[in-house]
Structure 1
Amino acid sequence: MPKKSTAKAFVPKRGRPTADQLAAIEQTILTTARDMFLGGSYDAVAMENIAAVAGVSKGTLYARYPSKEALFTAIVENRVNQWSAEAAQQDHLLSKDIGERLRHHGHTIAHSVTQPEVLAFQRLLFATRERFPQLSKAMYEAGYLYIVRLIARDIAEAAERDGIPARQPETIARMFVSAITGWHLQESGEHPITLEEIIGAADGTTDLFMAARALW
């Protein structure tokens, strides 16, 4: 049974809509469509149904998104960008210590791979990847590459600050991310992985990488 949308249907007001009202319409459409896609399947959701649940006219919906593919693309890009922004909120509170920063990034990855919405989007993208390869690319670039580049930057800055050369910051960053996500992928095939377990794996990965810092 399709998941009930968490969005409130938009209630139109008389007169020309303000910027805030336009933003509210946009958010209602995206939230409604997201909930409907994740609650059922891509093929089972019709644009007309999205418009009805969101409380907007079909004309309003199609004026913003001329096709279901365009709407689906906007939803994925919107959520990936939001996840990246949320993950970066605590970055400014960290010290410059590379060990602390790696541990923080490891915990961020751990939370990400166990987040129900992220997992739901991954399943949906897997089911539609042949039709929408650009969406998998968007999630790869805004999700995976975002954290890789963030870690690589931290490694390069720490190397300059601490006087320890870093020959391949991005390669090390990719290996760090893959070590945690790969562990989760393999272990979750055997039994459900708790957040505490993957955080423990992330901490272990950080310890191993820090012990081998001279090889970076």
Structure 2
Amino acid sequence: MAAATGENGVSGAMAVAGGAQRSRGRPSRKEAEAIDRSVLEAARESFLAHGFTATTMDAIAARAGVTKATLYQRYDDKVAMLRAVLHERVAAWSAVSNRRAVNRGDTLDKRLEHYARSITRWSRDPEVRSFGELIRECWGTARAVAEEMQTIRVTRMLDVIEKDIREFGPKAGVTAANPRLIAELFLGMIGGVHRYLEDSGQADDQAVAQLCLNQAVNMFVAGKSAW
């Protein structure tokens, strides 16, 4: 895969990076930011194309058009590089989720349905799936990073759902004794629906998936008296 792309501006960033290498002085703030972007983009492409184990810092530097010294000024090692890439992607995905959040609804039922759809949508996203495979590889080679990403992914979702259970639960006639536990059970249930759809070969049937998710949410909310 070529490192430069017109759409995301990496080609321009690499050009600036090359200019920064040729300059005897320190790069300007704009040049440094362009180098940062090109390095992250090169690392992301390399990790996704070759995996964590096969990717080297030399390869990332070459792909970004910077020297190894420039790369190591920013990241101590490949693990730090991977952590930066993953945090950047999580931030980007969170920004997209926040823009979609305006359609969450104003009742507990609607909000849980929204989260079920959102989790399903993200589980089908090609980039998210690719990073999921990368993280699974890291459990054996960069376990600390894999654990960190797993914690961030789950914790963020739990925080949002728990907050809504606390806020919208009473409006639905229920005050959960342990909102965090209810949020955890909800995520576990959605994960179970996804496994059922995968095992039954219906994961790609959006109509079936939506029906199953709605039924699961309805049953979950119907049992709110036990919360």
Bin of the TM-score, shorter chain as denominator length: 0.7 to 0.9
Q: Which amino acid counterpart does residue 57 of structure 1 have in structure 2?
A: T
1:180 to 190, 193, 196: 190
Q: How does 1:130-209 map to 2 (within 5 A)?
A: 130-189=140-199, 191=201, 193-194=203-204, 196=206, 197-209=208-220
Q: Deviations over 1:71-101 (max 9, x none)?
A: 1121122222322332222324444211111
CA–CA separation in structure 2 for the residues paired with 1:29 and 1:45? 13
Residue in structure 2 matched with residue 102 of structure 1 by the alignment: 112
CA–CA separation in structure 2 for the residues paired with 1:182 and 1:95? 24
The Cα shift of 1:125 comes to 1.7
2:128 to 118, 121, 126: 118
8 Å Cα contact 1:84/1:143 also seen in 2: no
Q: How does 1:74-85 map to 2 (within 5 A)?
A: 74-85=84-95
TM-score, normalised on structure 2?
0.83
8 Å Cα contact 1:4/1:39 also seen in 2: no
Alpha-carbon spacing, 1:74–1:162, altered in 2? closer, same or farther (3 Å): same
Any gaps of 5 or more consecutive residues in structure 2? none
Q: Which amino acid counterpart does residue 215 of structure 1 have in structure 2?
A: A
Q: Which amino acid counterpart does residue 144 of structure 1 have in structure 2?
A: V
The Cα shift of 1:161 comes to 4.2
Residue in structure 2 matched with residue 11 of structure 1 by the alignment: 15
Q: Deviations over 1:29-48 (max 9, x none)?
A: 11111111111222222211
8 Å Cα contact 1:38/1:124 also seen in 2: yes
Residue in structure 2 matched with residue 61 of structure 1 by the alignment: 71
Alpha-carbon spacing, 1:192–1:38, altered in 2? closer, same or farther (3 Å): farther
Residue in structure 2 matched with residue 20 of structure 1 by the alignment: 30
CA–CA separation in structure 2 for the residues paired with 1:190 and 1:209? 22
The Cα shift of 1:126 comes to 1.5
8 Å Cα contact 1:51/1:61 also seen in 2: yes
Any gaps of 5 or more consecutive residues in structure 1? none
Give the number of the structure whose residues are more often helix, by fraction: 2
CA–CA separation in structure 2 for the residues paired with 1:27 and 1:202? 38
Alpha-carbon spacing, 1:212–1:4, altered in 2? closer, same or farther (3 Å): farther
User: 3-state SS of the aligned residue for 2:14?
Assistant: coil
8 Å Cα contact 1:29/1:54 also seen in 2: yes
TM-score, normalised on structure 1?
0.87
Q: Deviations over 1:7-32 (max 9, x none)?
A: 43511245643333322211211111
Relative contact order higher in (CA < 8 Å, ≥ 6 apart):
1
User: 3-state SS of the aligned residue for 1:117?
Assistant: helix
Alpha-carbon spacing, 1:167–1:35, altered in 2? closer, same or farther (3 Å): same
- State the superposition RMSD in angstroms: 2.2
Q: How does 1:41-52 map to 2 (within 5 A)?
A: 41-52=51-62
Q: How does 1:25-40 map to 2 (within 5 A)?
A: 25-40=35-50
Q: Deviations over 1:154-189 (max 9, x none)?
A: 011113445532112111111111212232234324
Q: Which amino acid counterpart does residue 141 of structure 1 have in structure 2?
A: T
CA–CA separation in structure 2 for the residues paired with 1:177 and 1:204? 15
CA–CA separation in structure 1 for the residues paired with 2:75 and 2:29? 18
